[in-house]
């Protein structure tokens, strides 16, 4: 069984806190990114669950979005939680970082995508 709740550290050094699921059945939390595409001062930013499949309770799958408090971009993560034979939990995710551009001519440069692995640290 993999538990999404708690503090996670990504391969980029970012910290993500997932809070307990609320009565409506969704979670929220906060994201402290270690890196940014902008030069602005990084602020801890809220995250919202977008979707979770409750059918696979042992390795929950989820989608979440982060609303950056210091930039006009937004990021969506989708992924799944896994546990190895030693009980170490990891989130295997892929994310899209969408930047706001001034014109549709700039959309070719508006989206970044990469995979990211998080480790449950607390
Ligand atoms: C921005 O630069 O406009 C906002 C911060 C974006 C941080 C990105 S989201 C995907 C990747 N994973 C992280 O932990 N940080 C970067």
Q: What is the pLDDT of residues 45-70, one digit of tens each?
A: 999 998 776 666 788 899 999 999 99
Q: Which residues contact 118 (CB under 8 A, 6 or more apart)?
A: 8, 9, 10, 11, 16, 90, 91, 93
Index of the ligand 1 atom closest to the CA of residue 10: 14
Note the pTM of the prediction, 2 decimals.
0.94
Q: Which of 13, 15, 35 to mutate to test the pocket of ligand 1 (most atoms within 8 A of CB)?
A: 35
Q: Is residue 18 part of a domain?
A: yes
Cα 61 from chain centroid?
12
- In the chain the first and final C-alpha atoms are separated, in Å, by 16
Say which CATH number the domain at 42 has.
Answer: 2.40.128.30
The residue whose CA has the least distance to atom 13 of ligand 1 is: 33
Report long-range pairs for 52-61 (Cβ below 8 Å, ≥24 apart): 52/4, 52/26, 52/27, 54/25, 56/80, 57/1, 58/1, 58/2, 58/83, 59/2, 59/83, 60/2, 60/4
Q: Is residue 1 part of a domain?
A: no
Number of domains in the chain: 1
What range does the domain containing 63 cover? 6-120
Stronger pLDDT, 89 or 22, i.e. the higher one: 89
């Amino acid at each position: 069984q993999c538990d999404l709740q708690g503090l996670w550290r990504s391969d980029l050094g970012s910290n993500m806190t997932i809070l307990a699921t609320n009565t409506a059945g969704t979670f929220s939390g906060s994201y402290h990114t270690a890196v940014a595409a902008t030069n602005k001062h990084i602020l801890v930013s809220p995250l919202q669950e977008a979707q979770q499949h409750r059918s696979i309770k042992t390795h929950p799958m989820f989608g979440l979005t982060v609303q950056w408090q210091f930039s006009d971009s937004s990021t969506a993560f989708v992924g799944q939680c896994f546990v190895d034979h030693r009980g170490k939990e990891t989130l295997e995710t892929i994310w899209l970082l969408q930047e706001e551009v001034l014109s549709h001519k700039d959309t070719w440069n508006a989206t970044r995508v990469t995979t990211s692995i998080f480790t449950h640290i607390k």
